[in-house]
Structure 1
Amino acid sequence: MRLPRSRRWVESTVVCGNCGAADAIGIRLRLGEDTEVDFHSCHRCEHRWWDAEGEVIDLTTVLDLVRRR
């Protein structure tokens, strides 16, 4: 199957902190000019989490960052 140019398969290196599976996705989002956050979701246990600069942050923090934008 061919994927559109904007999409490509990348092997996951994200490990779920909940179940330990290396079967999670990571999506980087830019919030404003100088803030990036990563959203992660585990395919095995469906645990979801956010991080910024390598530190786990809660959804409330992400929403605050969006509001400041």
Structure 2
Amino acid sequence: MTGYTARSLFSPTTWRRFWTRLGELEEALATTEGDIIDRRLSRIEAEIAELRAHAGLPRHIASEPMSTVSSSRS
């Protein structure tokens, strides 16, 4: 906030500019947070697919929920 005087800090124009900038920053952070969550989910899904492939589960069993798999085996 260098360069601002006490008078300019009380100016409605200055506050509108600050408020607009704050809104822009919030939008940028929300987008970034969403991207991070999407990347984490994609990574976890890839790890699960790799573990299922490593375990040698057939594709039809690998895509079923665990409750369905255990009931179909008994």
Structure 1 length normalisation: TM-score?
0.22
Q: Which has the higher helix share?
A: 2
Q: Which has the higher strand share?
A: 1
Structure 2 length normalisation: TM-score?
0.21
> Relative contact order, CA 8 A, sep 6+: which one is greater?
1
Point out the structure with max Rg over C-alpha: 2
